[in-house]
């Protein structure tokens, strides 16, 4: 598998003008988006250690109404509180996903779910959040997850759900609900999670990133 990822990284470098791959951490009004800076930095380090893919060492902090989102290979949205988009953010996010063909990973850190679903429907009234089947490449592109998303933290008492927006048959937004993958990227002392749980979160995070990049390379 490492040879496969090495090829992906090499292909991306040859086929794009990127000097470094970038994850954009989305800033939104009234929310605690800043709560995830360290966890994303950790994920970027794990990706660098375990694959040949190299990102900037820190996420780029971006607002959805800024053209800076088009400098990002992946956008990450997470938080504990309700989220809302203004009209400029809605237009920009639509453009990023439909025309630029970018990729969004959204993670409910518990408290964002209801508002996120509502706002994404405003962004994409013509699309629905759909369950991503366990057979989808995002669950097997590098590490194998035959039963879909791993359960990292218990929130609403149900099974974890991986939901997505498919545009032209392609998964361009992936939403992790009732699991909180991002918490598993935090340093061990933050949540005191067992190592096996943290490892599952890290592996799933790497899968999401690799899927996003391989999709971009086509």
Q: Where are the domains of the chain?
A: 2-216
d(CA 101, CA 126) in angstroms, rounded, equals 17
**187-210 burial string, b = 16+ CB within 10 Å, else e?**
eeeeeebeeebbebbbbbbbbbbb
Q: What CATH number was assigned to the domain covering residues 2-216?
A: 3.40.50.12140
d(CA 80, CA 102) in angstroms, rounded, equals 24
d(CA 118, CA 45) in angstroms, rounded, equals 33
Tokens of 60: 């780029």
User: What pLDDT does 57 receive?
Assistant: 84
Tokens of 155: 């929130």
Other Cβ atoms less than 10 A from the Cβ of 105: the count is: 22
User: What pLDDT does 156 receive?
Assistant: 67
Contacts of 29 (CB under 8 A, 6+ apart): 84
Match 């989808």 to its residue by tokens: 136
pLDDT tens-place values along the chain, 218 residues long? 555 554 554 455 444 433 478 999 999 876 677 778 899 999 999 998 998 888 888 899 999 999 999 999 999 999 888 899 999 999 999 999 999 999 999 998 888 899 999 999 999 999 999 999 999 999 999 999 999 999 987 766 789 999 999 999 999 999 999 998 988 898 777 777 789 999 999 999 999 999 999 876 54
């Amino acid at each position: 598998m490492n040879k496969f990822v090495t090829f992906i990284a090499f292909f991306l470098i040859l086929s794009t003008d990127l000097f470094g791959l970038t994850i954009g951490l989305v800033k939104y009004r009234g929310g605690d988006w800043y709560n995830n800076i360290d966890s994303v930095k950790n994920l970027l380090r794990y990706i660098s250690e375990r694959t040949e893919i190299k990102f900037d060492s820190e996420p780029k902090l971006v607002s959805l109404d800024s053209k800076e989102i088009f400098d990002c290979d992946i956008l990450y949205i997470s938080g504990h509180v309700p989220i809302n988009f203004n009209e400029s953010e809605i237009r920009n996010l639509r453009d990023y996903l439909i025309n630029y063909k970018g990729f969004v990973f959204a993670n409910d850190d518990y408290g964002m779910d209801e508002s996120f679903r509502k706002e994404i429907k405003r962004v994409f009234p013509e699309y629905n959040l759909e369950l991503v089947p366990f057979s989808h490449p995002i669950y097997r592109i590098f590490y194998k997850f035959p039963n879909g998303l791993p359960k990292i933290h218990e929130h609403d008492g149900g099974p974890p759900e991986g939901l997505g927006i498919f545009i032209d048959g392609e998964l361009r937004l992936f939403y992790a609900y009732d699991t909180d993958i991002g918490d598993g990227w935090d340093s061990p002392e933050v949540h005191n999670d067992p190592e096996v749980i943290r490892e599952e979160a890290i592996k799933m995070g790497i899968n999401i990133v690799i899927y996003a990049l391989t999709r971009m390379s086509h």
